[in-house]
Structures are given as C-alpha cells and as structure tokens.
Amino acid sequence: MGTSMYKYLTLFISSLFLFGCNSGSDPDSTSPETPTEVLINAESIQDKALLGTEGIVNVQAATSSDVELELTSVTPMSYASNCKIDSIDGMAFSLSAEQVGECQFEYTVGPRDTEAFVGKASAIARVSVSETASDNTLPNLSETTDRLTEITIDLNAALSGDLDTSSYVVSGDISVLGTGSATAEPSTNKITFTPSEIGVDRVLYSMSDGSTTKLGTIDIAVSDTVNTPPVAENKVLEGKLAKDMLATIDLTDYVSDAEDVVLLDSVRAYNAEANITSQTEHTFTFKSSQPGPHEIAYTITDGRGGYDVGQVYIEVEPDFDLVQDWEDITIADPTIGADITFTAPVSQVLADYTNTSYSEAVMQDGVTGPQGSKVVTMSLEQAQSYCATRNGRLPIQREWSALMAEHGNLFESKNWPANTPYWSADMTSETSGVGIMAIDGLSAELTKATSAAFVTCVLLDKPQVKDFSVRSLNEAQNSNVYTYTLKVFDPDGTNAPYQNMGLEATHGNGHFDNGLTSKLTVVDSVGESVEKYTDQTLRNDVLSAMVSASAEFHKPFIADLDSSRSDYYGYPDKGDEEGDYLLGESNMFSLRCGSWLDAAGTPEDGMVGGSGGTKHEISGRDITSIYVGWGNWNHKGDNLFAIARMVFHYKNGSQFACGTTGYVDHSDTFIVPQNYQMKGFRAQSKYYSSNRQDYINAFEFYVLPE
C-alpha cells in the first residue's frame, strides 16, 4: 500500500496485513490445494453503547474478491479495563461496561473459509458508553507543529462552539496513533502533545459530563524544523452521497506549497472506506454504509519533511425506504377549529442519522408494531427537547383522545409502533406523568425522571395551535428580595399541574432561592409556583421561565436603586461627566486624592474625573460610615465646586481620609445600615478651564443587604 491508512492502524503500531505462508506442492501429490491469499481492508469504527445493557458492535471490512469474512479476535486496548467482551458472532461482537466512558478495542477479521483462503487485517473500534444514546462524536481537530516543539490543545477553546465544556471533562486516558506521546489534564481540559518524528500522529480522546461520553480525534502534522510545510485546507462536499455510493474526491484546489510539489500522503475515516487513488493528483475514493455526517482527515506532504492535515466533510443519506414505513398524522381538532399534526415516532435509523438523543431502541414484533423496525424511546427531557427542535410540543390528553377517536389502533390504521407507551404533556404529580397506549388510548403512569417512552409531537404550525404559557400573577418586594407567583397554563388555557419549569436570570445579575442564577422546579396542583429572586448587583436583568422546552416567559427585572442608595452629596447639578460603578471582584474603590477629590472609580472599570493627586485603592468591605465634605472656591476668576474631603470608617476602627478640610463649606455622613454592605456608587466630575483639571463634584453610595 502507498498510503498510511488510519483504518489499518492500531495503538502506536501501523497495522499489517498478515497472510499465511504457502509452501510448495507436488502437482502429483494428494496434498490439499494451497489457500488463496486475499487482501482485506478493515475499517476503523466508532459506535455507541448504553450503560447497563449489552451493546452490539458491527465491524466493517472488505476484500478484493467476494470472500465471506468473520471476526477472529477482539482485544481490549489500554484503558478499556471497565469494558468486557461478552461474545463474538460473525462480523459483530457484544460488550458490557461498568461505567460511563470510552471502550477501545483492536479487532481482527479473516476469511470464514480458512481452508480455501488466508489473510487477515486489524483495525480499531471505539465505543462510547453513555446513559443515553446521545450524539457521541466531537468534531475532528487538526494541529501543526515541528518535531522539536511541544504543543498544548485547549479543548475549551477548540470546541467552544460545539460543546458545553463547562460540564464536559476530558478523560485522563488518551492514546496516540503514531510515534509521539500525549497527556490530558481533566482540570483544565487541555491536551499536551510531544512530537517524536515527522509525519502525522492521531490523538484519540474522550470527554464526558458523567452521563454522556463523546469521542474526539486530533490529527497533528509534525514537520521538520528547516522546512516550510505545505497547506491543506478543509473541503465540504456539496450535496449528499447515497448509502454505499463510491465517490472520488479531488483535493487539488485545497492543497498548496510555495516551494515543492504536494503529495497526498494518507486519508483516515471512521465507519467508511477511504482509499487514495493518486498521490500526485490528490484524489481518493470514499464509500460508507453509515448515514450521517463524516469527517475524513487527509494528510499532505512536500516530500522534504513538511506535513499538514485538512478535513473533508461528507454527508451520507440513509436508505429512506428502510428508515421508517409510517408517517405524520393530521386530524381536525374541533376544540381549536384547526387541523393539528402529530409527528411520526422516530426510528433508530432516523435518530442516528439526525443525531437525535434517545434512551434505547425497541424492536417491533409485527403484532403491535411494524415487523423488524427499531423505534427509539426518549426520557421526558429528551422528548421535550426533540419536540422543540421540531417546532412542536408533546400532545395533551385531549389531543390524544381526538387522535384515537378518529383512527383507533394506530398500528392497524397508520402502521405506527404501539408496543410501548407514548409521552403526553400532562403530569399527575411532582414525579409522575401520563403515558398513552397507541393501541387503545388507555393511559399508563410514567416516571418523569426515569421512564422512557415513544414520542410524537404536535406541531406549532398554525396560530390556533398553542403552546404552554406562564404568567406572573403577583409580585412583592422586600428590600432587594423579590417574590413572584408564577402560574402555568396548558395549550387550552386551563391550569397545568405539576409541570417541570426552568428558571434563569438571563444576565446573571441576581440569584434564586437556591443561590444560583438558574433553577429547576415543579409547579403545584393548580400550576403555581412561588419564586424568590435576590438582586445582587443593582443591575437590570431578564427573568425567564421555560416549560416543555419551548414555552418561554420573560419578565424584565428593573433594579430598584431608590431603596438602596444614599443622598447625592455635593453639587450634582454642576457636573458634566458621570460614572456609575458597582464594586467588582476586588471589592475596591479607586480614588485620586490631593487638596480635593480628583477622581473616583474601581480597578475593574476605570475612573471618572481628573489626573491630579495621588491614586489610592481602598477596601469596600466592612465600611460603617463615610464622611463627605464639599465646598467651592475661586481660582483665577473661575468658581470651582468639588468634593474636598472624604473619610471612610471601618468596623475595626480604622479609617482612610482623602482630600483636605480647608475648602469644606458643607458636610454630611452616610451611615451604612446595619446588616448592609457597600455595593457601589455614582460619581460626577466637572472640567475647569482655569487650571485645566477635572474634579469630583458629587457622590452617591449604593448598598445591599449582606
């Protein structure tokens, strides 16, 4: 082979085609015929398995001739100690895992008829183990370095647009296909790679949030230090490929080198066949039986020690005739005077193709569902999120009754799978919801937290088709604590008891009674919930409530500064510039002090005022009172109005003085209320042309309860 194909790679070792050794034979002897050597192409694959259930992994391999293949061995690699091989059958193996994470195996295939044929090939199988069948693939990443330079990949930055890295953590167990080495730091989500030789190394890593595992790959091009490497750009293939369609990909317009001829060195793909057809013309073929998006990493070289990696993005369509043999159902809803559409339940093939998160796939038996079809179930959260992506919501019981009244047994009338309950939008307690059987319309109790059921959504495609709604019935304020009575209504406008509701302070300027800027709660038997919001910053915010993953209520929160501020000391009608400051993370005041107060602000947000005097930063903690003195004086015919002196008093008896007493005509002292703390201030300054300086002429303080 002229390429270093990834599908032939095993951990740290390039995979080899191992063939049996044929001895010579006497044509006149009675010895059996010499077995025919066959070339086997094994694909590296990625698959998913559910924690606590047996996972079936189907491997892929092809031969140069029509020879039936089978798995001969499956060996756990490196950190697959929590993964167990249960059985091997044909071209599939089953596994079980004790914890969420990645299982990595080397598998080997060979001819089933070992008397007539000989040969074998090995490849890697990566399996993500999760509590649900969520999308398990992270985008491919590409990096470049030279053989003497260690690099660090910050996954938080690299995946910021694709993954919530605040909840996903990289596993400390990673592997490298190639000569280099790598380590992962879970506390920072960073991977450090140390190169060894020129070429391209592939780093295999995984990330998990404790319930879901996602598999990632980083291809790192390592060039010589004395060479300018070539450039490989990413390519997106227009349109979609049919399942098992062989396509030729031309990369000529995507590779370049200022000095040398560019050669296509390797192509690497999961769950697909990818083979170079011309290194000099930069072409390769691609074929896959797995629908969905594919990322193919290709490597180029200039032949003088320079390498680079690019990605090709290809989408493969499923065989839609096999996806699911049932459709959406539309009925007339006399209650609202419009048609409503129930979306078809989702087959496993379609769910995998669209990366729809689900819990498990249920095989249909031909009696209560279409024979041989696998249909996915979802948790309540997954179901609501899925319906939101369809611009819909779960049906309420009244809508289910209308559907069943018109069509009866949905398997017999519409070929819908019906051997498992469907979610409805109605809830019966804090922990339980209502499921509906599509055979007879009878209800079944489902547990919100643990049950999984089939899903159909009512599309919100007409004005008459409503979603759930949330209203604020009563509001009350006690200092900086605000109490809201929120009520949830169903699509018909009646009380919606026991609905799950998510709350969020959108801008994070306050918190709910759990001390956080977000909260999950359950409304009571009449659909109500009393919620408290504490203003922490004296800044406006937007409070949002969400029900059914799509019904949102937004309540603008306007901070009440009047109840949390002092008088405006000094000359507030004299200034021409004003600064509004909240004490930041440092909890410090910034002041410039001379014969009077020249400037004021915070270390985080800068200062308002002039550049005279000496700069001081003083603590905003434990202040008991602040003396303010102000006055005016004449300077070269110009009347100056300014704060002349401020004295900060602290609980420990210490104090800090700024300015002088000589110009004070008026004074006052702000007493910080008991059990309150300093939170910020407003300062005003004015420019005086007689001495070309700004001075602070007015000051106001903000406080909040401790």
Return the structure tokens found at 375.
């249909």
| Mean pLDDT of all residues in 64-85 | 83
Question: 157-166: long-range contacts at Cβ-Cβ below 8 A with a sequence spacing of 24 or more?
Answer: 159/216, 162/138, 163/138, 163/207, 163/214, 164/209, 165/189, 165/207
The CA–CA distances, whole Å, from 266 to 12, 232, 311 equal 17, 12, 12
Q: What pLDDT does residue 19 have? A: 33
* Contact (CB, 8 A) for 631 and 592: no
Return the structure tokens found at 31.
């010895």
Token pair 């948790």 is found at 379
| Mean pLDDT of all residues in 627-646 | 88
Q: What pLDDT does residue 510 have? A: 86
Number of alpha carbons in the 13 Å side-chain half-sphere of residue 35: 18
Convert the pLDDT of each residue in 101-111 to its tens digit.
999 999 999 99
Structure-model confidence comparison of residues 244 and 411, the more confident one:
411
Provide the β-strand partners of residue 684. Answer: 578, 698
**Cα–Cα distance measured from residue 534 to residue 483, given in angstroms and rounded to the nearest whole number:** 9
DSSP H or E run through 104? strand 101-111
Sequence-distant (6+) residues with CB within 8 A of 699 are 568, 569, 570, 597, 600, 628, 643, 646, 681, 682, 683, 684
Convert the pLDDT of each residue in 414-459 to its tens digit.
999 999 999 999 999 999 999 999 999 999 999 999 999 999 999 9
Rg (CA), the chain: 35
* CA pseudo-torsion sign 146, 150, 156, 159: positive
* Contact (CB, 8 A) for 684 and 698: yes
Question: How many residues are recorded in the chain?
Answer: 706
- Band (685; pLDDT cuts 50, 70, 90): very high
Return the structure tokens found at 604.
């985080």
State the average pLDDT for the chain. 89
With H, G, I as helix, E, B as strand and everything else as coil, classify residue 162: coil
Instruction: Please name which of 448, 461, 454 lies closest in space to residue 423, comparing C-alpha atoms.
Output: 454
| Mean pLDDT of all residues in 49-57 | 87
Q: What pLDDT does residue 32 have? A: 57
- Band (258; pLDDT cuts 50, 70, 90): confident
Q: What is the DSSP letter of 565?
A: B
The CA–CA distances, whole Å, from 466 to 381, 470, 486, 492, 497 equal 20, 12, 19, 7, 17
**Cα–Cα distance measured from residue 63 to residue 110, given in angstroms and rounded to the nearest whole number:** 10
What are the structural domains of the chain? Answer: 6-23+34-130 (2.60.40.10), 141-316 (2.60.40.10), 321-459 (3.10.100.10), 469-557 (2.60.40.10), 562-705 (2.100.10.30)
The CA–CA distances, whole Å, from 208 to 83, 170, 193 equal 16, 7, 21
| Mean pLDDT of all residues in 205-217 | 94
Q: What pLDDT does residue 161 have? A: 85
Tell me how far the alpha carbon of residue 413 is from its chain's centroid: 40
- Band (54; pLDDT cuts 50, 70, 90): confident
* Contact (CB, 8 A) for 17 and 38: no
**Cα–Cα distance measured from residue 241 to residue 285, given in angstroms and rounded to the nearest whole number:** 12
| Mean pLDDT of all residues in 29-45 | 81
- Band (558; pLDDT cuts 50, 70, 90): low
CB atoms within 10 A of CB 76: 16
Structure-model confidence comparison of residues 32 and 581, the more confident one:
581
Q: Which of the residue ranges 144-158, 202-216, 606-620, 692-706 would you say has the lowest mean pLDDT?
A: 692-706
Q: What pLDDT does residue 81 have? A: 60
Provide the β-strand partners of residue 343. Answer: none
| Mean pLDDT of all residues in 35-49 | 91
Structure-model confidence comparison of residues 555 and 214, the more confident one:
214
Q: What pLDDT does residue 4 have? A: 35
CB atoms within 10 A of CB 338: 13
Return the structure tokens found at 393.
């919501």
Structure-model confidence comparison of residues 508 and 285, the more confident one:
285
> Is the confidence at residue 2, as pLDDT, over 50?
no
Pairing of the two strands 481-489 and 528-535: antiparallel
Convert the pLDDT of each residue in 133-187 to its tens digit.
878 899 999 999 999 999 999 999 999 988 988 999 999 999 999 999 999 999 9
**Cα–Cα distance measured from residue 620 to residue 642, given in angstroms and rounded to the nearest whole number:** 22
Give percent helix, percent strand, percent coil of the chain, each to the nearest 5. 5, 50, 45
Token pair 């910021």 is found at 160
